[in-house]
Amino acid sequence: MFNTVRATFSGTIDRIIMQGADGSIVQKGQPLFKVTPDEKFVEVNPEEIEQLRRERTSAYLRAVL
């Protein structure tokens, strides 16, 4: 039985971790591949985003009024 494996991001498979994969039973969450993401993940603080939105909104309102 073959199942499609979908990723939550685009990337390149660097290595297949599962050895002797044909006919093997795998568990949920078991690593199968080593994947390098195509884009670099940058963690953002939600409080910083909110502050930037408030600053931009204030600047827009000053320009309009």
What pLDDT score does 24 carry? 77
Amino acid at 52: L
Token pair belonging to 6 = 């979908």
What pLDDT score does 53 carry? 95
pLDDT tens digits along 1-60: 677 878 888 999 999 888 776 777 888 888 888 999 998 888 889 999 999 999 999 999
What pLDDT score does 21 carry? 62
State the DSSP H helix or E strand holding residue 8, giving kind and residue range, or none if neither.
none
What pLDDT score does 1 carry? 60
